[in-house]
Chains A and B, each alone.
Chain A
């Protein structure tokens, strides 16, 4: 890399030129409470070592202490930007243990709420990413749309962030009567906003050039480091659990899986899997989520929104893993039952945790300001890392 040569020829690699810089734990661009110990030579990093755990709340241990349904509100706290997915993953795992069949209406409500939540989460990710590298204007626009989603979800389940909406066997509430036209109206509105968003920031020349070819993760490296979700797809791996290991209502919908193809353009130095690909894949995913919600509203079935669940949930001895495509990629719950009212072990595998693991190796030779863009492009959320 050109920057490596720059270090060797101009600045030297002596220890006396290096400085150790603590970035965080309370840094505005670290997306939560994370510390980076940056070993830098001037502006160029030798490496950035992430230190996590500041938000460790022992959620997995709590899962062993409370009953199966009692753990549902805690799952919200795993990822506060996309709490629906954490709900759904846990519900699916326990349903698998119980052998429960979820009624179609509940599955559709789950898909609708999750996809709306995915858009909300991506909006925050896109807005903060633009803000982290200096484009402050788009962030309020993203927040404005997210507020509408929060309103919609509040009408659906009574909460704006920690939804606690999905239940073992279904969802907590049916769709309110006048909710569907509201949602459709917002979807029509949001479709236009996405075009506006592209004009505002995605196709902004300065923005694209800033991110093109930066922090490139080749496909093999992404798989080896266990990256999931948009981060993986931006590297050109065509994989989405919604399509490839379908669950819930997703087999009923038609949608595309956007993958990275050096969207920034080769002439700007764009590469498959660079920061801009990760950004733009999320924009495209918002469009697909919008289509999924539309289809789900069109085909919305009648019937129960909750399966018949025993009052005391006591799965037989065994273990089950559920995998869902969350906003930050694959979220997997591994639940072990010993036949009692409480889980023997609950494990949540989250996308952000492993996305952090790649930063140390990826940061070599980057500028300090690029680290900020890299963290933002990986869309890590601190509570999801630490659980």
Chain B
């Protein structure tokens, strides 16, 4: 059974849900449309169950951060193995308190991918069975993939900065040279053993 085009799928969704499905993006490479965040679960259930759409595969779930617009966009890629068609949807969430329904009841694949978005972007997925950090440690501060994230300067006493290892070798080299010079001419005034460390 041949798949539907992106426009046909969008048309079908608009007929069913009206305003909750935003207009199609101007065709900039991959098109997408924006769903109204409160109705995401409902629309996705339709996407999955409707026999003409039948999106059985949640291909990707990620997010993008837009501090200027004060938005976090969660991006969903759906794919149907039966019809071989693809659909891309986004929801726009308030950056201060991003919350959206979890898709885990529909696609188990959402479990880990939502945990990743929760971890790296700080989006809360309502109804998720096990929402905790996945890649970063449990007590990590901040959400690293947000654009305004700054490192807090280490983790549990482990510094995330270090001296340039080359400086160490340079100093060792200077020391050895100074010792050699001192051994060759013991009466000559020995140069300082360690040259002052270069800035930076």
Chain A interface residues (CB < 8 Å from chain B): 52-53, 56, 58, 60-61, 96-97, 221, 223-226, 237, 239, 244-245, 316-321, 323, 330, 332, 334, 336, 344-345, 347, 349, 353-354, 356-358, 361, 386-387
Contact = CB atoms under 8 A, between A and B. Distances in A.
A224 B88 CA distance: 18
A97 B29 contact: yes
A224 B145 CA distance: 27
Contact of A349 (B56, B59, B135): B59
B64 A53 contact: no
A344 to B, nearest CB: 7
A61 B116 CA distance: 14
B113 interface: yes
A223 B81 contact: yes
A225 B60 contact: no
A226 B136 contact: no
Please indicate which of the listed interface residues A52, A320, A321, A361 has the most CB atoms of chain B within 10 Å of its own CB.
A321
Interface in B135-170: 135-137, 144-145
Contacts, number: 87
Interface in B27-66: 28-30, 32, 56-60, 62, 64-65
A35 to B, nearest CB: 12
Interface stretch (B4-12, B15-23, B103-111, B191-199): B103-111
A386 B135 contact: yes
Given A53-B137, A61-B144, 6 more contacts: A53-B133, A96-B30, A318-B30, A321-B60, A336-B64, A345-B65
Contacts of B136: 53, 56
20 contacts: A52-B135, A221-B108, A223-B56, A225-B109, A226-B59, A226-B108, A226-B109, A226-B113, A239-B81, A318-B28, A319-B28, A320-B29, A320-B30, A336-B64, A344-B64, A345-B64, A347-B62, A354-B109, A354-B112, A387-B135
B30 A354 contact: no
Interface of B: 28-30, 32, 56-60, 62, 64-65, 75, 77, 81, 84, 88, 107-109, 111-113, 116, 120, 133-137, 144-145
Contact of B77 (A97, A239, A321): A321
A53 B135 contact: yes
A316 B26 CA distance: 13
Contact of A244 (B64, B84, B107): B84
B25 to A, nearest CB: 9
A226 B135 contact: no
B64 A330 contact: no
Given A223-B57, A321-B77, A332-B59, A357 B108 contact: yes
Contacts of B57: 223, 226
Given A53-B137, A56-B136, A334 B75 contact: yes
Contacts of A347: 60, 62
A319 B29 contact: yes
Contacts of A332: 59-60, 77
Contacts of B111: 357
Contacts of A316: 28
A357 B59 contact: no
A314 B134 CA distance: 33
Question: Max chain A CB contacts within 10 Å: which of B29, B75, B107, B137?
Answer: B29
A330 B77 CA distance: 13
A106 to B, nearest CB: 21
Contacts of B84: 244-245
A96 B133 CA distance: 33
A89 to B, nearest CB: 12
Contacts of B109: 224-226, 354, 357
A27 to B, nearest CB: 20
Contacts of B120: 60
Contacts of A244: 84
B112 A353 contact: yes
Contacts of B64: 336, 344-345
A221 B133 CA distance: 24
Question: Counting chain B CB atoms within 10 Å of each CB, which of A60, A97, A225, A356 scores highest?
Answer: A225
The 6 closest A-B pairs by CB, nearest first: A226-B109, A318-B28, A357-B112, A53-B135, A318-B29, A320-B29
A60 B30 contact: no
A96 B29 CA distance: 7
B62 A354 contact: no
B145 A60 contact: yes
